[in-house]
Every structure is written in C-alpha cells, then in structure tokens.
Amino acid sequence: MRARGRVLANVLVIKSSLMGEAGNSNALVDLFLDKWRINNTHDVVSVRDFSTDPIPHLSRERFIAFTTPEDDRTERQKSEVALSDELIAEFMAADVLVLGVPMYNFGIPSTLKAYIDHISRVGKTFHYTAEGPVGLAGEKKVFVLGARGGFYLETPNDTQTPYLKSILKFFGLDDVTFVIAEGLNINPEQKEKSMQEARTQIADLLS
C-alpha cells in the first residue's frame, strides 16, 4: 500500500498497564500515537490493551501444544496454539512496535511477559544455529515508553531495560528507543516534571 508517495507502515501498540486509561505509561503511548498520526495519517495502527484483553499465562498444556508438531496436535492443542499464532502473525507483520511498560515490583508486568512467552516460538520468531539463536522478526523500529514510581535507570534495580533489550535482540530487533518517566510516586511536582520531560522527548523524536 502507498499513500502520497510513501509506504504505509503497520504500527503494533502494546499497552501493559493494569490501570487502563489511568496508567501513566498508557498516557505516554496515547501521546506518542497522537504525534505519530500527524505525519503518518495513513498508517495502520493496531492496539492491544492487556488491562481489558489480557494474554493468558503459559500452562503446561499450552507449552506442550506449542512444541508439538502441527500435524500431531489434538483439537484442544490446536485451540491452545491459535492465540499464539495470531499474536505472532500480528507481531511479524508490524513495521513499528510501541510498548507501553510500567514497572511492577522491579520488573515488567506479568501480562507483558505472557505475551512475550506466546510469541517466543522456535521457527516462528527465532531459530537456532550452530552460532546460537537468530531472530526472524525482520527490520522493525521499536519504541519503549515506560513509567516508574521511583528512580531506577542505570541502577541494579532496573531489570526492565536489559531484559527488554535482550528479548528484542533475541527476535532480531536492535533499533530500540526508550523513553522512561521516573519518580512518578515521589510527589506531584516530580511526577509532572518527569512526565513533561517524557512528553518533550516523544515530541522531539516524532518532530
């Protein structure tokens, strides 16, 4: 598809805040999308909001279904795999990935981890070689928009940033930009300062 001489992009947006529209990371995502659409009016934007449509966590049965050859799956196993196949197809088709990521107990939300578990399937989003795993996700631009109650960047308590860099690299994605608003629970003044700094970063990125 083309519009005004440019190739349209598929933009996949993942909102992982438990707080829905009240979530600070979701507020940053919404601002990002507003800014994005100004110059990319014809792009196709798909949004998954885990506060209203959570991804189920892996179970033994679901994991076995993932690893069972397609022709050998039972009807129940085919049903277990269907959501994973849908999520992978959506992920692979995206040109731009936008992740809204709050920090919960020093980590990413469990629903985001469940999503990652569903799309991490050998032969689908990565494969193994003698030199190690190779990502199959192609070229995508990734934006991570985060919100945290305290200050954790560049400290041992920031488990999010290295993990997300590692798992995205595992899929073959290394063009990743982070915009993180921190200290949001310190006091109202600090929250507004940090959110405004993040809003400015987003505006600068998309100007």
The per-residue pLDDT for range 165-199, each reduced to its tens digit, is: 999 999 999 999 999 999 999 999 999 999 999 99
pLDDT at 3: 40
Q: What is the pLDDT of residues 64-79, one digit of tens each?
A: 999 999 999 999 999 9
Counting residues of the chain whose pLDDT is more than 70, the rounded percentage is: 97
The candidate with the shortest Cα–Cα distance to 81, out of 101, 64, 103, 102, is 64
User: What is residue 109's DSSP assignment?
Assistant: -
- The 3-state DSSP class for residue 105 equals coil
β-bridge pairing 44-49 and 10-15: parallel
Residue 55 has a pLDDT of 95
Give the mean pLDDT of the chain: 94
CATH number at residue 67: 3.40.50.360
DSSP assignments along 144-205, one per residue: EEEE-SS--TTSTT--HHHHHHHHHHHTT---EEEEEE--TTT-HHHHHHHHHHHHHHHHHH
**Does position 7 have pLDDT exceeding 70, yes or no?**
no
Phi, psi of 85 (to 5 degrees): -60, -40
**How many domains does the chain fold into?**
1
Whether 8 has a pLDDT exceeding 90, the answer reads no
- For residue 200, CA distances in Å to 163, 178, 189 come to 25, 13, 16
In this predicted structure, what is the pLDDT of residue 157? 94
Average pLDDT value for residue range 90-110: 97
The pLDDT tens digits for 15-55 are 999 999 899 999 999 999 999 999 898 899 999 999 999 99
Owning domain of residue 30:
2-205
Query: How far is the C-alpha of 157 from the C-alpha of 139, rounded, in Å?
Result: 30
Q: pTM for the whole thing?
A: 0.92
Query: Is 50 exceeded by the pLDDT of residue 5?
Result: no
Mean pLDDT of 128-157: 95
